[in-house]
Structure 1
């Protein structure tokens, strides 16, 4: 009798263990293009159907030996724009660089080069967002304390923004879009490594803008 009970219990445990394992999110990336995965994730997020993939203990353990994210995302430090949440992604899915105004300097570009050269990143997304405080500070002018001035001065120096007339009816949004395009152009011009990968057809760069009120990401074309 005791042996029969133990046999039944062991069978139940095996069933539960197998079921739990089968419900874990798959460890591999999908066959979609990386940007497609992100946009599908954003659709889930914006419609309140986020699945929070690749967040299990099994996923965490699988990444101990290294990372191979298929896409790098450059975006603003704004707390309202966390890319992993906005795109409904998980551990190891994106290589992320965040700065105020999604601005790029040597350290940031070096980080992206590392992702491309050593991690095998195939796509880069430069993402700004509506109501960007850094771009607003540039438009409003006035004095800015400390190193915040460096942020405003950097935006002011962007050629793409300098071409927008001050009386533009959609000034803020147009400047935000110009700032995104500047990031794309900057990566291509200031990184020989990135430019070469693009020429070889091994790397793509995209632009995008996040709408705070809708939770939606819009692709920005050059």
Structure 2
């Protein structure tokens, strides 16, 4: 399907372009900070409770600082008291969007040591992107003012492993009458892209799947793509380690 904003360039072309940008862009912390811009949503600027919008770089730094506290067992559990609950009851202005797996061991608010109103979290098995997921991310960026989107894969992802098993002809017969195949179809491109000599094919697919999700967010949304190209939004891919709790942004896999 042609993207009306880019004559002659298909969505597949945009996806590939986004993937190339992920591979070529510098790491998140190597980027030159840009001047903060006002929140896009008119109602956000008028909200007395809204903090100034963070730049994409500042939002990334805040996420990673929180993860550092979590890893070091020094989490502060901010913004979780009754006063914060009352403050954000009327409106929300999350500083970042995290697309994460629905896995019970992956809870972004804990992993990044954030509280009520800090993160707009979208969770689905395999951290895949479909229209509903993309619409949710668009809402958080366009209407709530978030300037950072992270696609977060994780170690030993069951959805990725199940897809790899199915492609190898070892799928579970219990899944035959379920909708699980719809998830596998979205994860399969990452599994197929794993180099033949990869030491851990599932873990390699986890990282590729997060990168593909980030590229699909860029390719699938004209408003988000425009913000990325204007330097107002950053889309990154990352991997969460279940064992030590560390989040590692995929170096060179950033759309900015």
How far apart, in 2, do the equivalents of 1:163 and 1:79 lie?
27
How far apart, in 2, do the equivalents of 1:192 and 1:150 lie?
24
Tell me by how many angstroms 1:115 deviates.
Answer: 0.7
CA contact (8 A) 2:214 2:237 kept: yes
Equivalent in the alignment of 1:151: 183
Select which of 158, 173, 178 maps to 2:208: 178
CA contact (8 A) 2:69 2:113 kept: yes
Does 1:81 pair with 2:111? no
Equivalent in the alignment of 1:12: none
Deviating beyond 3 angstroms after TM superposition, the runs of 4 or more aligned structure 1 residues are 27-32
How far apart, in 1, do the equivalents of 2:233 and 2:199 lie?
36
Tell me by how many angstroms 1:29 deviates.
Answer: 7.7
Q: CA RMSD in A?
A: 1.8
Extract unaligned runs of 5+ from structure 1: 1-26
Larger Cα Rg: Structure 1 or Structure 2?
A: 1
Extract unaligned runs of 5+ from structure 2: 1-49
How far apart, in 2, do the equivalents of 1:118 and 1:55 lie?
23
TM (normalized to structure 2)? Answer: 0.72
Partner SS, residue 33 of structure 1: helix
Equivalent in the alignment of 2:80: 55
TM (normalized to structure 1)? Answer: 0.82
CA contact (8 A) 2:126 2:159 kept: yes
Alignment of 1:2-151 (within 5 A): 33-141=58-166, 142-143=171-172, 144-145=175-176, 146-151=178-183
